[in-house]
Structure 1
Amino acid sequence: MKHDRLCAIGHNLADSMASGLGFVIGYYPMDVFGEAASSPEALIEVDFLNGRVVRGMPSDELEAAVALFAEVLPEFCQSNGATVTDFKALSATFTTTALGRQVFLSVTDQNGRSSMTEYRGVPLKRLKVLDDLGRIRKNPRQAGAANI
């Protein structure tokens, strides 16, 4: 499975959670950014593979939603041409800063390739940057997943 395809699957999961509607798991209202802002670390980090919050202090409702994301992940992957076993790690860190709502998506595939992509806003969009020739391009993924 191509790494970019796995990143797209991760983006869709994180975007569903960020939207506050949780359509991937059915209609399940949540406010992950609000909970991140009120968390002592000012973030919520979600491990989609294991269905748990690894950093931050989520509400019981958000913890239940994260568990539901893990339950539907195999079917969601299959509908997108992948399997859960294609992932070695899949996590998203949600935070709210002066720059707005941010999500850092970390993906590691079974071949050991890992990347981290920064998204902003809702719906989640990759940042745009100027390349060496002055053209507007999507901010490239960072190789290797780093901690936020």
Structure 2
Amino acid sequence: MKHDRLCAIGHNLADSMASGLGFVIGYYPMDVFGEAAFSPMGAIEVDFLNGHILRGEASDSLQAAAAHYAEALPEFCRANGADPADFENLSATFDSTALERRVVLKVTDRRGRSSTTEYAGVPLKRLRVLDSLGRIRTTPRRAGLAS
């Protein structure tokens, strides 16, 4: 499976959670950004593969939502032409300030290729920057090897 396709699947899962509606797991209202803002760490990191909150303090409802995402992952992957075994890591860190909502998506595939992509707003959109010629471009993914 191409790494970019796995990143797209991760984006869709994170966007579903960020929307507050959780349509990937059925209708499941949640406020991940609100909970992140009040978490002592200022962020909540969700492991979509195992259905756990890795960082931050989350309500029982949000912890249950994370578990539901892990349960829905195999079917969601199949519907998008992938297999959950294609992922070694799939997590998203949600953080919220008074000015914006941000998500950092981390994807590592089974070949060890990893990438980190930053998104802002709801729906999640890649951040934009000016290139050397003054044109607006999406921020490139930060790529690397899994450690």
What 5-or-longer segments of structure 1 have no aligned partner? none
Distance in 2 (CA, whole Å) between partners of 1:25 and 1:15 is 12
| Deviation at residue 99 of structure 1 after TM alignment | 4.0
Q: What is residue 29 of structure 2 aligned with on the other side?
A: 29
Q: TM-score, normalised by structure 1?
A: 0.95
| Deviation at residue 134 of structure 1 after TM alignment | 2.1
| Deviation at residue 97 of structure 1 after TM alignment | 2.2
RMSD: 1.3
Q: Is the 8 A contact 1:116 1:145 kept in 2?
A: no
Q: What is residue 88 of structure 1 aligned with on the other side?
A: 88
1:60-99 alignment, distance < 5 Å: 60-99=60-99
Q: What is residue 121 of structure 2 aligned with on the other side?
A: 121
Q: 1:145 to 1:15 in 2, by over 3 A?
A: farther
Q: Is the 8 A contact 1:107 1:145 kept in 2?
A: no
Q: Which runs of 4+ in 1 moved over 4 A?
A: none
Deviations 1:108-140 (A, max 9, x none): 001111000000000000011122222221100
Distance in 1 (CA, whole Å) between partners of 2:136 and 2:95 is 26
What 5-or-longer segments of structure 2 have no aligned partner? none
Q: What is residue 9 of structure 2 aligned with on the other side?
A: 9
| Deviation at residue 98 of structure 1 after TM alignment | 4.4
- Identical aligned residues as a percent: 74
Q: TM-score, normalised by structure 2?
A: 0.96
| Deviation at residue 47 of structure 1 after TM alignment | 0.4
| Deviation at residue 141 of structure 1 after TM alignment | 0.3
| Deviation at residue 144 of structure 1 after TM alignment | 3.0
Q: Is the 8 A contact 2:3 2:109 kept in 1?
A: yes
Q: Is the 8 A contact 1:45 1:55 kept in 2?
A: yes
Q: What is residue 111 of structure 1 aligned with on the other side?
A: 111
Distance in 2 (CA, whole Å) between partners of 1:3 and 1:40 is 33
Aligned residue pairs: how many?
146
| Deviation at residue 24 of structure 1 after TM alignment | 0.1
